[in-house]
Chain A
Amino acid sequence: AQTVTQSQPEMSVQEAETVTLSCTYDTSESDYYLFWYKQPPSRQMILVIRQEAYKQQNATENRFSVNFQKAAKSFSLKISDSQLGDAAMYFCAYRSGGGHWGAQKLVFGQGTRLTINP
């Protein structure tokens, strides 16, 4: 079974600075997807960024980028120019790329609570 580990329960950063959240995963599959979700106090799970395992290029979405190291099974999220609105729980998630129905679920890490200091 696949597992996702986030080793940093909490992180904090000064506003306008850069922060990196860590995520490692364990899988024997070669076809899969990785995601970062943001959960603000409103509880809504918001997709931040997505990475397909077959793509070598790291995904970027505005101030959010990932460092995907497939061999090391590492998938970190970098937030540049941190803003107060970035404060939230961040979850790393894995999804199999296989075609069978059981592959479509998301497997989540434990989350990292990010605090932005003004």
Chain B
Amino acid sequence: DSGVTQTPKHLITATGQRVTLRCSPRSGDLSVYWYQQSLDQGLQFLIHYYNGEERAKGNILERFSAQQFPDLHSELNLSSLELGDSALYFCASSVGPETEAFFGQGTRLTVV
């Protein structure tokens, strides 16, 4: 157990809908990263938050947004969902930007 908690573990939703994925980092970790794992794109970095502030963006679609709250948990919001958004979404956390990141178990999103 990495100490990073992601909910829900599985999510099935229809095209055009909006979902929210939640991540609770390890106790004391200020950095939260979101990654997407899909069959065609592999593992890709989406976004990084540090202590509530967005610090870096990767290949994140405009339909996707994220935030990190004062208690340091983070949410990834995916809207106007398309079939191609079906993927495994990982959250990872670390104490700071140059320390080891630990991954949660991921949320499997299926868009039908």
Contact = CB atoms under 8 A, between A and B. Distances in A.
Interface string A45-60: 1110010000000000
A105 B100 CA distance: 11
Nearest to B42: A110
Interface residues of B, number: 25
Contact of B2 (A44, A50, A108, A110): A44
Interface of B: 2, 31, 33, 35, 42-45, 48, 50, 55-56, 58, 88, 90, 92, 97-98, 100-103, 105-106, 108
A105 B97 contact: no
A111 B48 CA distance: 23
Contacts of B88: 43
Given A107-B45, A108-B42, A43 B33 contact: no
A44 B103 contact: yes
A101 B97 contact: yes
22 contacts: A43-B88, A43-B105, A43-B106, A43-B108, A44-B2, A44-B105, A45-B90, A45-B103, A45-B106, A91-B43, A101-B50, A101-B56, A101-B97, A104-B31, A104-B33, A104-B56, A104-B97, A105-B45, A106-B33, A106-B45, A107-B45, A108-B43
A118 interface: no
A50 B100 contact: yes
Nearest to B99: A104
Contacts of B35: 106
Interface in A72-110: 91, 97, 99, 101-110
B7 to A, nearest CB: 14
Contacts of A62: none
A104 B58 CA distance: 11
A103 B96 CA distance: 12
B110 to A, nearest CB: 14
Nearest to B108: A43
A28 interface: no
A37 B103 CA distance: 10
B48 A104 contact: yes
